[in-house]
Amino acid sequence: MTHEKTFTLVKSYKPFHSKFDPCPPIGRKYYRTPPNLYINFQPPNMEQFTPEEALKYGTLWKFFYDFYDNPYRERET
Residue stretches of the chain with pLDDT short of 70: 1-7, 71, 74-77
Q: Note whether 12 and 28 are within 8 A (CB).
A: yes
Domain residues of the chain, as ranges?
A: 10-64
Alpha-carbon distance of 77 to 59, in angstroms, equals: 31
Helix ranges, the chain (H):
51-57
